[in-house]
């Protein structure tokens, strides 16, 4: 479909769609589109094509995609001012943190800053700290990339390294998010960028969120903090960050809010992208270090255990796997096996530790991070099985080499890479900003 749009207007396209500006002058988030460039808009995303000189578009629309025209430029003037303030700062590397609630335009604002900086020949890196709606790395990770060409969607960048947090919401893993940000922040600096743009998750309202965000910003110690807000929802957070240079920017009014289901399906596109060409790899457990997770019952922190035979007697069976960890005992039993609560209590009395009983099969579907021996992140996979008898781990992943360390998250995917609940009780509680 062809469509002509006059200068001064903006074409808003809701994906899945692809758009080429065949003639005229068009900008997407601060970058000028070349006439040969086809821009793909994912499902759940909306892209604004700001027409600077009357343009002809070639548009292909997928299912449920739509196009509309808006008057003027939908990029708020406060974004332009924010960029001017950023570019006036001389320190290098310059670090900018972007804060905002879910669907406020954080990713788009980062994209806009990055494109503007690239047009000034700056060396730019993005550190993506939003694990629930990650743009750069796989879902449930923090990741960074250096950006050398203008981008319409940060999703198309290739991550240089990622840190697996293993959950979709920071409220469940604050320490891990901090650890990941600190370590990648250090690493990104060794690339010598002029500017590091740091995106964050959308958990910003309420006392816990404010405490977390303050801790996060203090740790990153940025030169400038951008706060995207519709009205004044970030004021309590801004007030507690008074020692930083803070700039408030507007959330574009043309943003389309996404439901929790939509956000989940956007994450699923992320799993699909990262698991393209995946196969089931079988790896002997003896080659691997497995980081603690009670759903696998396997752990690198296993200790010697002298009372095993007494406990097997109590259980009336030899479990598939038995491990005593620092703070608990993991017992893996067959799918149809059962241990009554009295027996569990007795084992707890003997060991003076909490007993976790895992049924074989419960590990199936766990989102898994794969690392090499130096703990460099290789990619993600989905755990298919731990075969305790043959001592083999089966994981669905495109990574075929160098896997030495495996860490499982608290997210489960079915065979179609759709998220399914891991622990039933977690579905109904907790903060959902992912
Ligand atoms: N100026 C704009 N005009 C039209 N659409 C916009 C504009 N800015 C952002 N959008 C679109 O609105 C949607 C939400 O924006 P964006 O993804 O940047 O928000 P976010 O805060 O990063 O959201 P999330 O919490 O999901 O990470 C996106 O589809 C984006 O492309
Ligand atoms: Mg985002």
Whether the CB of 180 sits within 6 Å of ligand 1: no
Residue of 408, 434, 412 lying closest to 423 (CA atoms): 412
Q: 421 CB contacts (<8 Å, ≥6 apart)?
A: 412, 427
Which residue from 12, 43, 46, 155 has its CB within 8 A of the most atoms of ligand 1, so it is best to mutate? 46
d(CA 228, CA 235): 11
Kindly give the distance from the C-alpha atom of residue 230 to the centroid of ligand 1, in angstroms, as a whole number: 13
Question: With contact defined as beta carbons under 8 Å apart, do 285 and 298 qualify?
Answer: yes
Phi-psi region of 206 (alpha: psi -120 to 50; beta: other; left: phi over 0): left
Within 10 angstroms of residue 416's Cβ, the number of other Cβ atoms is 9
d(CA 75, CA 253): 9
Kindly give the pairing relationship between strand 405-413 and strand 289-290: parallel
Q: Which ligand does the CA of 255 lie closest to?
A: 1
Kindly give the distance from the C-alpha atom of residue 15 to the centroid of ligand 2, in angstroms, as a whole number: 16
Task: Flag whether pLDDT at 300 surpasses 80.
Answer: no
Closest ligand 1 atom to the C-alpha of 44? 29
d(CA 224, CA 113): 13
Kindly give the pairing relationship between strand 224-229 and strand 94-100: parallel
Structure tokens at 68: 């509309």
Kindly give the distance from the C-alpha atom of residue 142 to the centroid of ligand 2, in angstroms, as a whole number: 12
Which residue from 11, 97, 105 has its CB within 8 A of the most atoms of ligand 1, so it is best to mutate? 105
Closest ligand 1 atom to the C-alpha of 100? 21
User: What whole-number percentage of the chain has pLDDT above 90?
Assistant: 79
Count CA within 13 A, CB hemisphere, residue 241.
32
CATH superfamily membership of 274-291+363-428? Pre-mRNA cleavage complex subunit Clp1, C-terminal domain (2.40.30.330)
Kindly give the pairing relationship between strand 66-71 and strand 9-14: antiparallel
- Atom 6 (ligand 1) nearest CA: 255
Question: With contact defined as beta carbons under 8 Å apart, do 74 and 254 qualify?
Answer: yes
Whether the CB of 75 sits within 6 Å of ligand 1: yes
- Which pLDDT score, from 0 to 100, does residue 321 have? 86
| Lowest model confidence (mean pLDDT) among 16-30, 168-182, 196-210, 289-303 | 289-303
Nearest-Å Rg of the Cα atoms of the chain is 24
Task: Flag whether pLDDT at 271 surpasses 90.
Answer: yes
Question: With contact defined as beta carbons under 8 Å apart, do 324 and 335 qualify?
Answer: no
Kindly give the distance from the C-alpha atom of residue 148 to the centroid of ligand 1, in angstroms, as a whole number: 22
User: What whole-number percentage of the chain has pLDDT above 70?
Assistant: 94
Kindly give the distance from the C-alpha atom of residue 106 to the centroid of ligand 2, in angstroms, as a whole number: 5
Answer with the residue of higher pLDDT: 431 or 349: 349
Whether the CB of 9 sits within 6 Å of ligand 1: no
CATH code for the domain defined by 2-71: 2.60.120.1030
pLDDT digits 0-9 by tens, 88-114: 999 999 999 999 999 999 999 999 999
- CATH class entry, domain 77-257: alpha beta
Number of helices and strands (H, E) in the chain? Answer: 9, 24
Task: Flag whether pLDDT at 324 surpasses 70.
Answer: yes
């Amino acid at each position: 479909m062809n469509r002509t749009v006059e200068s001064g207007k903006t074409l808003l396209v809701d994906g899945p769609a692809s758009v080429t500006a065949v003639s005229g002058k068009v900008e997407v988030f601060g970058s000028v589109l070349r006439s040969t460039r086809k821009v793909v808009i994912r499902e759940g995303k909306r892209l604004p094509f700001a027409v600077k000189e009357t343009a002809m578009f070639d548009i292909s629309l997928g299912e449920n995609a739509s196009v509309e025209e808006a008057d003027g430029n939908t990029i708020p003037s406060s974004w332009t001012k924010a960029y001017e303030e950023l570019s006036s700062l001389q320190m290098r590397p310059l670090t900018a943190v972007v804060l905002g609630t879910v669907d406020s335009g954080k990713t788009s604002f980062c994209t806009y800053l990055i494109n503007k900086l690239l047009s000034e020949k700056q060396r730019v890196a993005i550190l993506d700290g939003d694990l629930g709606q990650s743009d750069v790395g796989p879902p449930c990770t923090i990741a960074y990339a250096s950006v050398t060409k203008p981008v319409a969607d940060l999703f198309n960048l290739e991550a240089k390294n990622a840190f697996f947090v293993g959950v979709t919401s920071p409220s469940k893993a604050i320490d891990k998010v901090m650890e990941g940000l600190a370590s990648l922040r250090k690493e990104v600096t060794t690339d010598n960028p002029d500017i590091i743009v740091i995106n964050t998750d959308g958990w910003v309202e309420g006392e816990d969120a404010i405490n977390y965000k303050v801790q996060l910003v203090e740790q990153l110690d940025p030169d400038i903090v951008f706060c995207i807000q519709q009205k004044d929802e970030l004021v309590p957070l801004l007030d507690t960050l008074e020692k930083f240079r803070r700039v408030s920017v507007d959330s574009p009014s043309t943003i389309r809010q996404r439901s929790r289901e939509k956000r989940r399906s956007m994450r699923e596109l992320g799993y699909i992208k990262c698991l393209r060409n995946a196969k089931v790899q079988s790896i002997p457990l003896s080659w691997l270090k497995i980081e603690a997770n009670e759903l696998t019952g396997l752990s690198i922190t296993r200790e010697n255990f002298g009372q095993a035979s007494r406990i097997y007697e109590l259980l009336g069976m030899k479990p598939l796997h038995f491990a005593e960890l620092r703070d608990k005992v993991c017992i893996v039993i067959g799918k149809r096996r059962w241990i009554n609560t009295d027996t569990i209590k007795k084992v707890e009395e003997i060991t003076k530790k909490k007993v976790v009983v895992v049924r074989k099969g419960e590990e199936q579907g766990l989102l898994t991070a794969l690392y090499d021996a130096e703990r460099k992140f290789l990619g993600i996979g989905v755990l298919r099985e731990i075969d305790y008898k043959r001592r083999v781990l089966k994981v669905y992943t495109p990574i075929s080499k160098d896997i030495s360390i495996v860490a499982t998250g608290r997210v489960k995917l079915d065979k179609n890479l759709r998220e399914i609940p891991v622990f039933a009780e977690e579905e109904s509680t907790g903060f959902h900003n992912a």
